[in-house]
Structure 1
Amino acid sequence: MLLKKKNAIVYGAGGAVGSAVALAFAQEGAQVFLAGRTAATLEPVADKIRSSGGRAHLATVDVLDEDAVEAHAAAVVSAGGSVDVSFNAISLPQRGIQGVPLAGLSAEAFELPVATYSKANFLTARAAARRMTDQGSGVIMMITASPSRTATPLMGGMAPAWAAIEALSRGLAAELGPSGVRVVCLNAAGMPDTPQITEVYQLHAEAHGISRSAFEAAVTGQTLRQRLPRVAEIANVAAFAASYRASAMTGAIANLTGGLVVD
């Protein structure tokens, strides 16, 4: 098992990506600490992990509340002895954010994802970094999407938010590397098997006056594989990148776009 005897925090663990990553971590032997805004979305994930023989704990945490984030990280150390992996997979509803031209977007709608994603990833990464530097090891992980690196219309503040997260991950990697801490960001294309991407594709389809399936087909056609990645593929890479087998990887933006973005 790649993550045996490791303690992993997954923020946004009730969502499609967060739950898949939490399950992948557990399957690789990690004790998983599920964090999210509501216990109701976390409980089915915890039940699934436990029914498969894994170990899961859950806590309601507001990732924009620095005291709550710090208290939860401290509780994880008290319960497990360490924080070995921290993965932030939080998300926002996208209606009113995507699918609107920048020239017609309100300042508040533009600012919401930029402020939310940047602050949330900073606070959770900071909490992890403080504990990982003390123990001399650990992996901090974040997730972004292909528009951070492409000229994609109607993204509102999402593309700038993702670009900021990638810059944050590189800065953290530079500062934390000497202390034995790695930082990896996963950059994915839209995963059509997640409810949020279904919502996003519908918003863009409406803006372009086409069907959701037609919009998805257009995006799919831009990938080298002619197939968009699935959430399980992202989760599997997350488990690998968090493990000792990826020990040479830090400061990296892992390209999981299926060739939508070519490095």
Structure 2
Amino acid sequence: MMLDGKIAVITGAGPGLGWTLAVLMAREGADVAVAARSADTLEAIAGAVRAEGREALPVPTDVSDPDQVRRLADTVVERFGRVDVLVNAAFPGSHRRNVLDMDDAYLEQWRKAVEIAAYGTLLACRHFAPHMVAAGAGSIVNLTSMSSRAGYAGRSDYAAGKAAVHLLSHCLADELGPSGVRVNCVAPGWIASDVLDDWMRARAEAEHTTFEAIRARDTAAMALRRIATEEDVARAVVFLASDQAAATTGATLDVNGGQLFT
């Protein structure tokens, strides 16, 4: 198993990718701590991890709060004695608004979104990385996005937050590498989901065409002619987290079906 005996932490563990990643890590041999704001979601994910025969630790956490993130790190290390893998995936939903259409309330929402992505990732790394440095080994994998390299109208909060995480990861890779700690990114493109389907249906209605036509047009722009799944993305994370990527740091692994080459 790729993560046999590892202790993994996932921040921003939601009902979609976070759930899939936690279960896959458990199947690959890891005990998993999951952190997010929703206690109910965390308990459900923890139950799925335990169903795979591994230990789970749900810790409700606001990753933009320094005290809560410090408590998260202390709780994980107290329970498991160490941390081998940290995956940062926290980011709030975006409502797709152009900059010139933002009122004061949305500008504050924009600030908070970027803070959760960039500052939240920084805080998690700040409080977990010292335990990895002390052990002389560890892997941090940050979830960025295709949008961290190519911005789109209405998604400036998402693009700015993910781009910040992208370059933060480069800085951390340089800082932590001498201590044996690796820092990498996985950058998904579109991920197959009900949310993506709803967006395609909305576009189809706006363009007076069909969902099938929009989906066919979108996938035709991808080299693999298919949209990545949550499991596709989770497997990329597991690879970078594992010892199979022992000589890889400061890298970004794109999982977008060939929608964007970098």
Length-normalised TM-score, structure 1: 0.90
What residue number does 2:258 align with?
259
Task: Say if 1:15 and 1:120 are closer, same or farther in 2 by CA, change over 3 A.
Answer: farther
Task: Say if 1:183 and 1:143 are closer, same or farther in 2 by CA, change over 3 A.
Answer: same
Alpha-carbon distance in 1 for matches of 2:19, 2:236: 14
Contact 1:37-1:60 at 8 Å conserved across structures: yes
> What one-letter code is carried by the residue in structure 2 that aligns with 1:233?
D
What residue number does 1:231 align with?
230
Alpha-carbon distance in 2 for matches of 1:186, 1:149: 12
Alpha-carbon distance in 2 for matches of 1:151, 1:204: 20
- Deviation track 1:115-174 (CA, whole Å, cap 9, x = no partner) reads 221111111111121211111111111111112212432213211211111000000000
Q: Structure 2 unaligned runs (5+)?
A: none
Q: Residue 218 of structure 1: CA displacement? A: 3.8
Where 1:157 maps in the other structure, the secondary structure is helix
What residue number does 2:203 align with?
205
What residue number does 1:89 align with?
89
For residues 176-191 of structure 1, the aligned pairs below 5 Å read 176-191=176-191
What residue number does 2:47 align with?
47
For residues 37-76 of structure 1, the aligned pairs below 5 Å read 37-76=37-76
> What one-letter code is carried by the residue in structure 2 that aligns with 1:86?
L
Contact 2:64-2:115 at 8 Å conserved across structures: no
> What one-letter code is carried by the residue in structure 2 that aligns with 1:5?
G
1:9 aligns with 2:9: yes
What residue number does 1:122 align with?
122
Alpha-carbon distance in 1 for matches of 2:45, 2:208: 35
Q: Residue 256 of structure 1: CA displacement? A: 0.9
> What one-letter code is carried by the residue in structure 1 that aligns with 2:98?
P
Contact 2:118-2:161 at 8 Å conserved across structures: yes
Contact 1:149-1:261 at 8 Å conserved across structures: no
Q: Residue 216 of structure 1: CA displacement? A: 4.3
Name which of structure 1's ranges 148-157 and 10-19 shifts more when overlaid on structure 2: 148-157
Q: What is the identity percentage for the equivalent residue pairs of Structure 1 and Structure 2? A: 32
What residue number does 1:140 align with?
140
Contact 1:61-1:72 at 8 Å conserved across structures: yes
Q: Residue 215 of structure 1: CA displacement? A: 4.7
Alpha-carbon distance in 2 for matches of 1:124, 1:212: 43
Task: Say if 1:203 and 1:187 are closer, same or farther in 2 by CA, change over 3 A.
Answer: farther
Alpha-carbon distance in 1 for matches of 2:208, 2:100: 22
Task: Say if 1:215 and 1:170 are closer, same or farther in 2 by CA, change over 3 A.
Answer: farther
Task: Say if 1:209 and 1:232 are closer, same or farther in 2 by CA, change over 3 A.
Answer: same
Q: Structure 1 unaligned runs (5+)?
A: none
Contact 1:229-1:257 at 8 Å conserved across structures: yes
1:220 aligns with 2:208: no
Task: Say if 1:151 and 1:89 are closer, same or farther in 2 by CA, change over 3 A.
Answer: closer
Alpha-carbon distance in 2 for matches of 1:91, 1:196: 15
Length-normalised TM-score, structure 2: 0.90
Contact 1:202-1:212 at 8 Å conserved across structures: no
- Deviation track 1:5-25 (CA, whole Å, cap 9, x = no partner) reads 111011122331111111111
CA RMSD, 1 decimal:
2.2
Task: Say if 1:208 and 1:167 are closer, same or farther in 2 by CA, change over 3 A.
Answer: farther
What residue number does 2:192 align with?
192
Q: How many residues align?
A: 258
Q: Residue 53 of structure 1: CA displacement? A: 1.5
What residue number does 1:103 align with?
100
For residues 237-256 of structure 1, the aligned pairs below 5 Å read 237-256=236-255
Q: Residue 45 of structure 1: CA displacement? A: 1.5
What residue number does 2:34 align with?
34
What residue number does 1:161 align with?
161
Alpha-carbon distance in 1 for matches of 2:180, 2:205: 46
